[in-house]
C-alpha cells in the first residue's frame, strides 16, 4: 500500500508510516483514545508512502493485553475514493462560489442598468411634459392662426368688394366722360371744316392740338373702361379653336402702314399648323397691342418679327411672340411693365402716344383665356413679348 520494504516497517514504531501531522494526532488523540476505550473506528489518518507522497486512510484499531504485553491491532483502508468525492465537492463549492460571484456581478450590472433606466424614465417623463407644453402652445398658436385667417378672409372679401365697387365706379365714370369728349371731338371737326366761318392757320393748329388731346383722352378713357371691365370680371370669353396664322394675317395689315412709316422692316414666321383654344377678338387685341408697342419703341432701321411655337406640355400650349430690335427695357423695370399706368423711360413726346394700360389689359386678357403674357428684353437691343395660349 505504501510501497515500503517490510524490514522498514516490521519491528519499527507505528509512527514510521505516519505524516508529521498524523504523528502529533496519534500522540495527542488517537493513542490516548485507544488506551482509554480499547478501540477506535473510522479514524482519518494520513500515511507517508515510500516515495514521499501522502496517502489518506481510515483506521480501525483494537488494543488488548496478551500475557504481559499490550498489543494494538490496526486495519488501514485507503480513502482515495472518499478524497475524490471530497475534491469534487470542493470543486463544486468553488464553482458555486464563482457562480455566486458572477451572479453578484450580474446583479450589480442589473442594478446599474436599472438606475440608468430609472433616470431615462425620468428624462422621458420630463420630455413628455415639455412636449405636452409645446402641444398646448401649438394649440394656442393654431387658434390664433385660425382667428387671423378668418380675419384675413373677411378683409379679403372687403377688399374684393371694394375692388368691384372701384371697377363699377370707373366703368360708370368712363361712360359719363366719353359722351362730352365725343362732343368736343365733333365740334372741333365742325369748326375745322369751316362750318362756322373761315379758320386762320393759327386757329387750325390750335384745333389740331385740341383734337390730338381729345383723341388721347378718349383712348385713355376707353382703355380704363376696358381694364375696369376685365377686372370686374364682366368680360365674356368666347373660347374656340383659332388658327394663329389667321390671327396674324388679320392683325398685321392694321400695323403695316406704321411699320413702313417709321422705316422698319418686318418678318413673319408663324406656322399655319398651330391652333389655340382662345377668344379670337381678345387674341387679336393682345397681338395688336404688342405690335404697336414694338413699332413705338423701335427706331428707324430696326426690325419687327412675329414668330410662333408650341410646347408638348402637359398642358399643351402654343405661343405667338413679337420681337423687336428696339430700345429694350431695363431689367429692374421688366416686371413692372404689366402694371397699369407704367411707362418706362418714355420721352415726353412719346408719352402722349401711350396710356401705360395696353400691357396691363393684354396680360389680364391672356390670363382670362388661361394663357400667359411674358417678356424678355435686353436694354438697347430689343424685346420679346410672348403670348402663350392653351393648345386646341
State which H helix or E strand residue 72 sits in: strand 69-78
Beta carbon of residue 323, minimum distance to ligand ADP (angstroms, whole number): 9
How near is the Cβ of 339 to ligand ADP at its closest, in Å? 8
Find the shortest distance in angstroms from Cβ 327 to ligand ADP: 5
Nearer to ligand ADP, 38 or 356 (CB): 356
Nearer to ligand ADP, 22 or 355 (CB): 355
Decide: is 285 part of the binding site for ligand ADP (CB under 6 A).
Answer: no
Number of residues that bind ligand ADP (CB under 6 A): 22
Question: How many CA atoms are closer than 13 Å to the CA of 47, on its beta-carbon side?
Answer: 22
Rounded to a whole number of angstroms, the minimum distance from the CB of residue 292 to ligand ADP is 7
- What residues contact 254, with CB distance under 8 A and at least 6 apart? 288
- Say how far apart CA 318 and CA 247 lie, in whole Å: 13
Among 33, 346, 379, 392, binds ligand ADP (CB under 6 A): 346
- The nearer residue to ligand ADP, 18 or 288, going by C-beta atoms, is 288
Instruction: Give the span between the Cα atoms of 323 and 343, in whole angstroms.
Output: 19
Q: Please list the alpha-helical segments (H only) found in 276-333.
A: 280-296
Asked if 305 contacts 382 with a C-beta cutoff of 8 angstroms, the reply is no
Backbone angles phi and psi of 381, in degrees to 5: -115, -30
Residue of 55, 231, 324, 364 interacting with ligand ADP (CB under 6 A): 324
Interface segment toward ligand ADP; rule CB under 6 A; list 32-40, 44-52, 86-94, 338-346: 338-346
Are 387 and 367 within 8 A, CB to CB? Answer: no
Residue 302 is a binding residue for ligand ADP (CB under 6 A): no
**Nearest distance in Å: CB 256, ligand ADP:** 17
Using CB under 6 A as the binding rule, whether residue 308 contacts ligand ADP is answered as: no
Say if residues 361 and 345 touch (Cβ distance below 8 Å).
Answer: no
> By the 8 A CB rule, do 304 and 266 touch?
yes
Is 326 one of the binding residues for ligand ADP (CB under 6 A)? yes
Cis upstream peptide for 314 (omega within 30°): yes
The set of cell numbers assigned to 140 is: 394656442
Contact between 337 and ligand ADP by CB under 6 A: the answer reads yes
The piece of 44-52, 140-148, 227-235, 289-297 that touches ligand ADP (CB under 6 A) is: 289-297
19 touches 46 (CB < 8 A): yes
303, 324 contact by CB (below 8 A): yes
Q: Is 262 exposed, middle or buried (0-12, 13-18, 19+ CB in 10 A)?
A: middle
Using CA atoms, how far residue 108 sits from 115, 119, 122, 167, in Å, is: 10, 16, 21, 84
One of 60, 213, 343, 372 touching ligand ADP (CB under 6 A): 343
Task: Establish if 344 lies at the interface with ligand ADP (CB under 6 A).
Answer: yes
Q: Which is nearer to ligand ADP, 269 or 353 (CB)?
A: 353
Binders in 360-379 for ligand ADP, by CB under 6 A = 360
In angstroms, give the least distance from the CB of 298 to ligand ADP: 7
Does 217 interact with ligand ADP (rule: CB under 6 A)? no
Cα angle 23-25-28, degrees, rounded to a multiple of 5? 105
Among 181, 188, 220, 329, binds ligand ADP (CB under 6 A): 329
Residue nearest to ligand ADP (CB): 354
Q: What is the smallest separation between the CB atom of 200 and ligand ADP, expressed in angstroms? A: 34
Dihedral angle of Cα 14, 16, 18, 22, to the nearest 10 degrees:
70
* Positions in the binding site for ligand ADP (CB under 6 A): 289, 293-294, 297, 324, 326-329, 337, 342-344, 346, 354-360, 383
Amino acid at each position: 500500500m505504501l510501497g515500503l520494504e517490510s524490514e522498514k516497517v516490521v519491528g519499527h514504531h507505528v509512527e514510521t508510516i505516519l505524516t508529521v501531522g498524523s504523528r502529533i494526532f496519534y500522540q495527542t488523540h488517537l493513542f490516548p483514545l485507544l488506551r482509554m476505550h480499547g478501540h477506535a473506528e473510522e479514524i482519518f489518518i494520513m500515511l507517508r508512502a515510500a516515495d514521499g507522497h501522502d496517502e489518506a486512510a481510515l483506521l480501525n484499531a483494537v488494543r488488548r493485553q496478551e500475557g504481559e504485553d499490550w498489543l494494538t491491532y490496526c486495519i488501514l483502508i485507503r480513502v482515495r475514493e472518499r478524497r475524490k468525492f471530497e475534491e469534487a465537492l470542493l470543486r463544486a463549492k468553488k464553482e458555486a462560489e464563482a457562480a455566486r460571484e458572477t451572479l453578484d456581478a450580474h446583479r450589480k450590472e442589473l442594478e446599474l442598468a436599472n438606475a440608468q433606466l430609472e433616470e431615462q424614465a425620468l428624462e422621458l417623463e420630463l420630455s413628455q411634459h415639455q412636449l405636452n407644453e409645446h402641444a398646448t402652445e401649438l394649440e394656442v398658436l393654431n387658434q390664433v392662426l385660425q382667428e387671423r385667417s378668418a380675419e384675413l378672409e373677411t378683409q379679403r372679401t372687403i377688399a374684393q368688394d371694394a375692388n368691384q365697387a372701384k371697377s363699377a365706379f370707373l366703368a360708370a365714370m368712363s361712360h359719363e366722360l366719353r359722351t362730352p369728349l365725343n362732343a368736343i371731338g365733333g365740334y372741333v371737326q365742325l369748326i375745322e371744316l369751316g362750318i362756322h366761318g373761315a379758320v386762320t392757320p393759327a386757329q387750325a393748329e390750335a384745333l389740331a392740338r385740341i383734337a390730338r388731346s381729345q383723341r388721347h383722352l378718349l383712348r385713355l378713357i376707353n382703355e380704363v373702361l376696358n381694364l375696369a371691365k376685365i377686372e370686374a370680371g364682366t368680360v365674356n370669353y368666347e373660347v374656340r379653336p383659332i388658327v394663329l396664322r389667321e390671327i396674324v394675317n388679320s392683325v398685321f395689315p392694321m400695323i403695316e402702314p406704321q411699320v413702313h412709316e417709321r422705316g422698319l422692316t418686318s418678318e413673319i414666321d408663324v406656322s399655319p399648323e398651330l391652333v389655340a383654344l382662345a377668344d379670337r377678338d381678345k387674341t387679336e387685341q393682345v397681338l395688336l397691342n404688342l405690335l404697336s408697342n414694338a413699332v413705338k419703341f423701335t427706331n428707324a432701321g430696326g426690325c419687327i418679327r412675329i414668330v410662333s411655337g408650341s410646347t408638348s406640355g402637359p398642358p399643351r400650349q402654343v405661343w405667338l411672340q413679337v420681337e423687336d430690335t428696339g430700345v429694350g427695357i431695363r431689367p429692374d423695370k421688366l416686371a413692372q411693365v404689366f402694371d397699369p399706368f407704367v411707362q418706362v423711360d418714355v420721352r415726353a413726346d412719346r408719352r402722349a402716344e401711350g396710356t401705360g394700360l395696353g400691357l396691363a389689359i393684354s396680360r389680364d386678357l391672356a390670363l382670362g383665356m388661361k394663357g400667359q403674357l411674358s417678356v424678355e428684353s435686353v436694354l438697347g437691343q430689343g424685346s420679346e413679348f410672348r403670348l402663350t395660349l392653351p393648345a386646341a
